[in-house]
Structure 1
Amino acid sequence: MVKRTKLSAVFQARCPQCREGKLFISKAYNLRKFLLMKKVCDTCGARFEKEPRFYDGSMYISYAMSVGLFLMSALVINYTIENANENTYLIAIISEVILLYPLMYRYSRVLFLYSFGGLKYTPKQNN
């Protein structure tokens, strides 16, 4: 049993209650299954979906992540490429969205579950 901090559990997409069980069924870039999330934790039995459509609120977190990504990209392009036109911005932002969508989807759900899921870390559940 590895003792994880809350930050490492979030980055590894682990259960908020035991910090051991995985939240997702497959890897992030398995394009057929990256959307599939487990219903309960394999280790402690915590339910990840509190009610139907529980994760609809994670769209707001995903939106904030996307806006931050777009702003950072625009700033980097603005300060590194002289006389960049609109196509440069569009190509950069669209390619980033395509490449990072699976990660943004997953981490918006992980952050939403940790924030609003009502699951508290209880290390004694691991025994």
Structure 2
Amino acid sequence: MSTKSKGLAVLQGKCPQCREGHLFTHGAYNLKNFMKTRTHCEVCNVRFEKEPRFFDGAMYISYAFSVGLFLVSAFIIYAFFHPVSENVYLIAIISEVFLLYPLMFRYARIFYLYIFGGLKYKSELERTENN
């Protein structure tokens, strides 16, 4: 029986209902397949996508991540390296986006599923009683 916390399940990209099954089929830096999301949990068989194009709403969370990353980067560069040219800001931010995009994409989907997916945690005992 899994006793994982919700926070740990989110960090590991696990199913919101059982907190055991993986949400994604491949690793974050498998650049060919990092976007592939499972349709169902391999442990509890719950469907992740409640409707067609369900995860389109995750782009707003991804946008918030990007804005936060830009602001933090700009603040750090300004606070510790000022004065620098605008090119330093551009190079830093573009480099960060390329390095962190797979993680931002995944966590935007994970957060969106946990917030708007309507799935509640069920222990293994609760899942077996319902079947």
TM range (shorter): over 0.9
Which 5+ residue runs of structure 1 have no aligned equivalent? Answer: none
Counterpart residue number, 2:55? 55
The secondary structure found in structure 2 opposite 1:46 is coil
Counterpart residue number, 2:73? 73
Change (3 A) 1:126 1:83: farther
After superposition, the CA RMSD in angstroms is: 1.2
Whether 2:4 is the aligned partner of 1:29: answer no
TM-score (norm: length of structure 1): 0.97
Q: CA deviation at 1:68?
A: 0.3
How many matched pairs?
127
How much identity, in percent, do the aligned residues show? 58
Counterpart residue number, 2:98? 98
Counterpart residue number, 1:125? 127
Q: CA deviation at 1:85?
A: 1.1
CA distance in 2, matches of 1:68, 1:103: 14
Change (3 A) 1:126 1:34: farther
CA distance in 2, matches of 1:115, 1:82: 39
Q: CA deviation at 1:80?
A: 0.7
The secondary structure found in structure 2 opposite 1:80 is helix
CA distance in 2, matches of 1:2, 1:91: 44
- Whether the 8 Å contact between 1:18 and 1:126 is mirrored in structure 2 is no
TM-score (norm: length of structure 2): 0.94
